Amino acid sequence: MRTIGLIGGMSFESTVSYYQQINRHVAAQLGGLHSAPLLLHSVEFAAIAALQAAGDWHQAGVVLAACAQGLQRAGAEGLLLCTNTMHKVAPAIEAAVDIPFLHIVDITAAAVVAADIENVALLGTRFTMEQAFYRDRLQAHGLRVQVPNTVDQDRVHRVIFDELCRGRIEPASRRAYVEIIARLAQRGAQAVILGCTEIGLLLAHDDSPLPLFDTTALHARAAAEFVLGDVCSPPAP
């Protein structure tokens, strides 16, 4: 198996999901007591959130690139950035290391395209919904991308930072998200990308009037597949 490095902590609530899901995929494939060899650099999220709010993406890229370099020096053979929003600085991370970087947008887009979906809605932080870095990369895969209106974007963003990143799961917020998805469906969206790693903590597939593509789950599965590489069955006893 190959060792994968995780840059996490953004927020730690969703990083827990990454750790569990990667290991569960590996255990399901290999059985027994098998788990994934991985390294985790969990950042101090308040500092990263302050850089986001200030629009200082350059410094955020410097910080996360240094994390990536540390993971490579520690033995990581591939990298995962356990957040959607901070893929805005993915180019800085990729330039800082010479090991594979598993880009969350490419992995998600491949799953959407494989499902024969062309028109997809995107939920995430305000940065992810407003700025072009995420939508442009999805569009490069041939997808049409919709985002909520400004009022709905504010609600989605607030729930992420004020509730989900703090471990609060509120039924009222789940209902609000479902209503937002219903409005996106009326505009022609065929499915929804959960473009924030915390939203999967709030919404399950049965909650939504549209199919959901959970970026955390897709990213974690891709990480497990990277770890396993050519390992397809448990070793002989």
Question: Of the residues 15, 83, 125, 216, which is catalytic?
Answer: 83
Give yes or no for a contact between 137 and 109, defined as CB atoms under 8 angstroms apart: yes
82 is catalytic: no
Question: Of the residues 108, 196, 215, 216, which is catalytic?
Answer: 196
Report the C-alpha gap between 196 and 17 in whole angstroms.
13
Q: Environment class of residue 62 by beta-carbon count within 10 Å: exposed (0-12), middle (13-18) or buried (19+)?
A: middle
Handedness of CA 140, 69, 1, 42 (dihedral sign): negative
* Residues with catalytic function: 83, 196
